[in-house]
């Protein structure tokens, strides 16, 4: 087999430990000289009591801690600017992002903007960030986005559009995976974020331009872990094995897709977040079925390989195994308890054409799709999901 040239990057260091967040202060002190911490999170986690013991652990290790808790889902630029302002006021020399993908995305960019004079507007796109950043530590509280190991931040620009910043500076210095932090996640969030992670693995595996053997290996293992633990994590929220399997799977999927990028599911999901504030994981889950069926015309041989990962033991040609794979994903989504149709989450029929036009702006993603998606195709996919 000829191996095409490829590059693979990821974070330099990570640790997985149940309950590790309670020891975060010690883990930071071992690795970094910096002691003035900006902790980036959201108000829900503060209210749930998750943040106080972690801040106490940091303080016990000799750190001073300022907490920025104003991150919201699909964060706009104003949240990022507020975060950087707070970091400057306390002269933070290390940023810790703790939360879902939105908190991690804001933490990544805050760490860059804190030490850079480059305007944010010049950073959008691929490889545009210049200069260094302050030390960055990421601790996910959902098993979903994989943002802790990606070089991507997504920001809402204007009223309804989302834009990505992709750059090596956004890889964290250290990642802590503590699945105990995910135990309190409600079922619908566990389901949506878990399906989001599965989308990352699948889209990385079928990505048109940068598919590579390392991302393939990580994507397969991610899908195995996620597929075998999703329902248990949704139905038994305190199941430690399921929670750890999901968090590890989401991280591996993050490593896969930051090197072999995502495609049409994400391109069609972003307008749903922008216009209807449907969470990123749920909007991916809603679009996954239609896009899988659409892409099967080209991707069937790859879907057939992924069917084996999900436990397909029967015989049959690539088409039959591919059909099993798409059907099995549908069953997992149904059993997870996540909403299944656009109409179930408040999307109106008369907005589908606008969503399709908006999805066309996601050229960074659409070029990776195994099959071309034109505006009329996007509209048909939204209709199918409706």
7 in a structural domain: no
Distance separating the N- and C-terminal Cα atoms of the chain: 42
84 in a structural domain: yes
Q: Is there a contact between 194 and 235 (Cβ–Cβ < 8 Å)?
A: no
Q: Out of 158, 182, 206, pick the residue that ends a domain.
A: 182
Nearest to 15 by CA among 174, 144, 251: 174
Nearest to 155 by CA among 138, 170, 177: 170
Would you state the pLDDT for residue 20? 97
Q: Three-state SS for 259?
A: helix
Give the CATH number of the domain where residue 274 resides.
1.20.1090.10
Q: Is there a single domain that holds both residue 23 and residue 138?
A: yes
Q: Is there a single domain that holds both residue 235 and residue 347?
A: yes
Q: Out of 182, 210, 241, pick the residue that ends a domain.
A: 182
Q: Three-state SS for 89?
A: helix
Q: Residues 275-290, buried b or exposed e (16+ Cβ, 10 A)? A: bbebbbbbbbbbbbbb
- Residue listed under structure tokens 């992002």: 97
Would you state the pLDDT for residue 161? 80
Q: Three-state SS for 287?
A: helix
Q: CA–CA separation, 250 vs 263, rounded Å?
A: 17
Would you state the pLDDT for residue 352? 96
5 in a structural domain: no
Q: Out of 137, 162, 182, pick the residue that ends a domain.
A: 182
Q: Is there a single domain that holds both residue 219 and residue 349?
A: yes
9 in a structural domain: no
Would you state the pLDDT for residue 162? 83
6 in a structural domain: no
Q: Is there a contact between 15 and 177 (Cβ–Cβ < 8 Å)?
A: yes
Q: CA–CA separation, 11 vs 148, rounded Å?
A: 9
Q: Is there a single domain that holds both residue 329 and residue 351?
A: yes
Q: Is there a contact between 346 and 329 (Cβ–Cβ < 8 Å)?
A: no
The DSSP bridge pattern shows strands 125-126 and 64-68 to be unpaired
Q: Is there a single domain that holds both residue 94 and residue 202?
A: no
Would you state the pLDDT for residue 315? 77
* Number of domains forming the structure of the chain: 2
The DSSP bridge pattern shows strands 125-126 and 161-166 to be parallel
Nearest to 39 by CA among 129, 101, 106: 106
Interacting residues of 30 by C-beta distance below 8 A, sequence separation 6+ = none
pTM for the model stands at: 0.95
- Enclosing domain of residue 195: 187-385
- When computed from its CA atoms, the radius of gyration of the chain, rounded to whole angstroms, is 20
pLDDT along the chain (386 residues), means of 10: 92 98 97 97 96 97 98 94 97 97 97 95 95 96 96 88 92 98 93 95 96 98 98 96 98 97 96 90 93 96 95 85 94 90 95 96 94 97 97
60 in a structural domain: yes
Would you state the pLDDT for residue 15? 98
Q: Is there a single domain that holds both residue 363 and residue 341?
A: yes
Sheet with strand 125-126: strands edge to edge: 125-126, 161-166, 152-157
Give the CATH number of the domain where residue 100 resides.
3.40.50.1970
């Amino acid at each position: 087999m000829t191996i095409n040239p490829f590059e693979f990057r990821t974070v330099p260091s990570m640790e997985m430990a149940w309950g590790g967040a309670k020891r975060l202060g010690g883990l930071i002190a071992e690795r970094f000289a910096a002691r003035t911490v900006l902790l980036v999170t959201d108000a829900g986690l503060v209210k749930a009591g998750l943040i106080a013991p972690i801040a106490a652990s940091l303080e016990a290790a000799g750190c001073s801690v300022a907490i920025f808790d104003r991150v919201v889902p699909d964060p706009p630029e104003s949240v990022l600017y507020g975060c950087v302002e707070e970091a400057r006021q306390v002269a933070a020399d290390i940023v810790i992002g703790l939360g879902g993908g939105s908190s991690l995305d804001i933490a990544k960019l805050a760490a860059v903007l804190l030490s850079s004079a480059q305007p944010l507007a010049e950073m959008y796109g691929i490889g545009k960030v210049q200069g260094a950043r302050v030390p960055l530590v990421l601790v996910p509280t959902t098993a979903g986005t994989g943002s802790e190991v990606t070089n991507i931040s997504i920001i809402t620009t204007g009223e309804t559009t989302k834009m990505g910043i992709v750059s090596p500076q956004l890889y964290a210095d250290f990642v802590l995976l503590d699945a105990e932090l995910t135990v309190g996640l409600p079922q619908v969030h566990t389901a949506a974020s878990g399906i989001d992670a599965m989308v990352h693995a699948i889209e990385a595996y079928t990505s048109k331009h940068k598919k590579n053997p390392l991302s393939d290996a990580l994507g397969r293992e991610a899908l195995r872990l996620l597929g075998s633990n999703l329902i248990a994590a949704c139905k038994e929220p305190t199941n430690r094995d399921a929670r750890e399997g999901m968090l590890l799977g989401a991280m591996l999927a993050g490593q896969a897709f930051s090197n072999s990028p995502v495609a049409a599911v994400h391109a069609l999901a972003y307008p749903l977040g922008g216009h209807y504030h449907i969470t990123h994981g749920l909007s991916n889950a809603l679009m996954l079925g239609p896009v899988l069926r659409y892409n099967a015309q080209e991707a069937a041989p790859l879907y057939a390989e992924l069917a084996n990962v999900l436990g397909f033991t029967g015989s049959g040609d690539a088409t039959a195994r591919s059909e099993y794979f798409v059907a099995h994903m549908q069953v997992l989504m149904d059993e997870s308890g996540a909403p299944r149709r656009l109409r179930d989450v408040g999307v109106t029929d008369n907005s589908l054409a606008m969503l399709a036009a908006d999805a066309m702006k996601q050229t960074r993603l659409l070029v990776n799709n195994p099959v071309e998606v034109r505006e009329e195709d996007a509209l048909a996919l939204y209709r199918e999901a409706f």
